[in-house]
Chain A
Amino acid sequence: MRLRKENAVLKWTLIITCELFLALFLILPLVFILETAFAQGLAAYWNSITDQYAIKAALLTLKATLWAVGVNTLFGLSAAWCITKFAFRGKKIISTFIDLPVTVSPIIAGLIYVLTFGRQSFLFPLLDKYDIEIIFAAPGIILATIFVTFPFISRELIPVLTAQGFDEEEAAALMGARTWTIFRKVTLPHVKWALLYGVVLCTARAMGEFGAVSVLSGHLRGKTNTLPLYIELLYQGYDFTGAFAASSILVVLTIVVLVLRVWLEGRGNKDLDILK
């Protein structure tokens, strides 16, 4: 029985308004990037993306992204296991600190690291003694990338592990399984989709981070420029083909991320439903 009669005019006005809004704000910029990237022809595009500085920037971005995904996966799994399987004091505080990085402006994130590892820091004498360079160098860029993506993986894992409870791990432990075996055979199968989903989100954000990385980078071409910083450099130097060609690589990766996201979200929800 359908009591409510839908107002067709209202319905289609809303749908068309929303679609126009998205087309204008989301689709058009993507089309525009690709169009501008290829505006000077295929050869110019190819030259831009195979420029040695572009490749070096892409490699640094890849390096920072791999570090961020690696560290945050290790952290996410440990934190999720520790928070959901054991009772201890201070859980709430830990969770708050885990979520903190995403609420801070990227520029402030960069500033915090400059204050921690820069010349005026209480750690500086120590770093100087052992000749460790962090800010205005690759380690700073990597740290900033880890910081801005910090909760992305743990935040996906914790709800799934909470829903799953710890009966299965307990049973496995009572039957004599070792930590690593329990993790691999019992816990990991439950969280694998959530973990992958987190990794995808983390990758997306890590490869595109601009503000925090911009503060910590020395802006040295071929040394401390990530792909987004390289794009900024080209754009400000009026090399629009180069800037948009480099952007088009990130656009393609973004589209891959969005497709993976939709697919993984479906898988992950199914797993959560089974648990419930």
Chain B
Amino acid sequence: MKKSKRKSVIPGFGITFGITMTILSVVVLIPLCSLVIFSAQLSPAEFFHTITTPRVLKSYWISIGCSFVASTVNAFMGLALAWILVRYEFPGKRFVDGIIELPFALPTAVAGIALTHMTTTNGWIGKVFFDFFNIRIAYTPLGIIVALVFIGIPFVVRSVQPVLEKIDVQYEEAASILGASRRKTFWSVIFPELLPALISGFSLAFARCIGEYGSVVFISGNIPYKTEIAPLMIMSQLQEYDYASATSIALVMLAIAFVILSVNAILQSMVSKRVSGIA
């Protein structure tokens, strides 16, 4: 290692490495260490007691359930959006392409209050749904799903779009010459190529939704056992200065996010093997 370092004639390794490690330590490494140290001091009994309280358990299920539904909606809409952006020409295409990033750029609290105020029974959308279908959106799990759909829109589009752009039209032409219908061509030629990107977009959206706070707290109404999400449980423990409970709940959430991203990694390798096996 030292040898290759000496070989490089470009100056500036020392200073850039120093700055990088200093900032990385202060911002990420030291805080992470203190999380590990604090977690190690938790007593196992207390940890299990906190995370198995009915109210906390319920909040995990609400977070996971709503995030799953919202990410599924986004998987379908994301695929459709990526498809129209890559394959079709239509008026306002550039605008659609640009506006998709809105959920990344719009502050979550702003999105949160707007969606809430629109979907209460007096709001623009909420009134229509309540008067005609007797459905309430704000302050119900449906409201949480609406906020999470909003947050998750860019993920699937942005992971599927580049892959779809790269698919060579030749394969579709070959399939078509061999007599495949357009539907068959889509499902047996294009879809398998898109699947890894679709899964990874879904997983990223899913993981992000589970941790989402700003856009959800307003619309959820935070009714215990009904619309309390897991990040809110951490927040309320923090407000009572109960750091042990907050950390316990957070560790479970980190584990859930880790599981989602690992399952994604496993699926990615499985799917890519299958696709290359066919080709």
Contacts and interface: CB of A to CB of B under 8 A. Distances in A.
B270 interface: no
Given A85-B10, A101-B28, A111-B247, A254 B105 contact: yes
- Chain A, interface size: which category? 35 or more
B57 interface: no
Contact of B34 (A24, A33, A85, A116): A116
B214 A105 contact: no
A179 B12 contact: yes
B13 A86 contact: yes
B61 to A, nearest CB: 17
A232 B111 CA distance: 11
Interface string B117-155: 110000011000000000000000000000001100100
Interface stretch (B15-23, B45-53, B194-202): B15-23
Interface in B33-76: 34-35, 37-38
A87 B4 contact: yes
A130 interface: no
Interface string B70-85: 0000000100110110
Given A28-B125, A182-B11, A204-B105, A81 B16 contact: yes
A229 B110 CA distance: 10
A214 interface: yes
A108 B114 contact: no
A231 B113 contact: yes
A144 B238 CA distance: 16
A104 interface: yes
B223 interface: no
Contact of A231 (B23, B27, B109): B109
Contacts of B124: 28, 32
A4 B11 CA distance: 56
A24 B153 CA distance: 12
Given A208-B110, A210-B109, A215 B235 contact: yes
Interface in B226-279: 231, 234-235, 238, 243, 246-247, 250, 253-254, 257, 261
B30 interface: yes
Interface string A170-195: 10011000110011000000000000
B37 to A, nearest CB: 7
B164 interface: no
B243 A105 contact: no
Contacts of A85: 8, 10, 12-13
B38 to A, nearest CB: 5
B110 A251 contact: yes
Contacts of A3: 173, 176-177
B20 A82 contact: yes
A228 interface: yes
B224 interface: no
A132 interface: no
B24 A15 contact: no
B84 A14 contact: yes
Contact of B5 (A87, A215, A240): A87
Given A22-B96, A111-B234, A240-B117, A173 B38 contact: no
A105 B256 CA distance: 11
B203 to A, nearest CB: 11
A123 B247 CA distance: 18
A132 B74 CA distance: 45
Contacts of A211: 108, 213-214, 231
A231 B118 contact: no
Contact of B102 (A26, A240, A250): A26
B254 A115 contact: no
Contacts of B238: 110-111, 114, 215
A258 B34 contact: no
A228 B12 contact: no
Pick the most buried of B31, B99, B113, B254: most chain A CB atoms within 10 A of its CB: B113
B117 A105 contact: no
Given A18-B77, A78-B16, A120-B38, A261 B98 contact: yes
Contact of B113 (A15, A81, A101, A247): A247
Given A82-B17, A88-B17, 13 more contacts: A18-B81, A22-B96, A26-B102, A75-B20, A100-B32, A104-B211, A111-B246, A112-B31, A178-B11, A210-B112, A228-B108, A247-B113, A250-B110
17 contacts: A4-B173, A5-B182, A11-B88, A33-B110, A88-B13, A98-B24, A105-B257, A112-B32, A112-B34, A115-B35, A116-B30, A121-B34, A150-B28, A210-B112, A211-B214, A228-B110, A235-B218
Ordered nearest first, which 5 A-B pairs have the shortest CB separation?
A208-B107, A105-B211, A210-B214, A211-B213, A78-B19
